[in-house]
Amino acid sequence: MALFLGVHDLNKDMGDGWAGYKKACEELGCHALHAYSNDEKKVGYCVTEASSADGVRKAHENADISLEDVFEVNRSE
């Protein structure tokens, strides 16, 4: 599976939040790994292990969480 970074505008609806997103991921075979936010800039990021960006988009949709963008990233050691 690949790693994906989701970008969120925290001024928009975060629906079921992190717990809801993790549950939606489990149901789709994805793994929600981490969530980060910058409260000053109102931007959030999530890191998800999934087979495709479409799976990440669907998990956000199922959790009613607004998603600005999602793209594959590589882990640096």
The pLDDT of residue 58 is above 90 = yes
User: How much is the pTM?
Assistant: 0.91
CATH of the domain at 17: 3.30.70.3090
DSSP letter for 51, please. Answer: S
Contacts of 49 (CB under 8 A, 6+ apart): 1, 2, 3, 4, 30, 31, 33
Domain range for 6: 2-73
**Chain segment 21-38, per-residue pLDDT in tens:** 999 999 999 999 999 999
Domain total in the chain: 1
3-state secondary structure of 52: coil
**Chain segment 9-22, per-residue pLDDT in tens:** 999 988 879 999 99
Please give the angle made by the CA atoms of 13, 19 and 24, to the nearest 5 degrees.
85
- Burial pattern 44-56, b for ≥16 Cβ within 10 A else e, equals bebbbbbeebebb
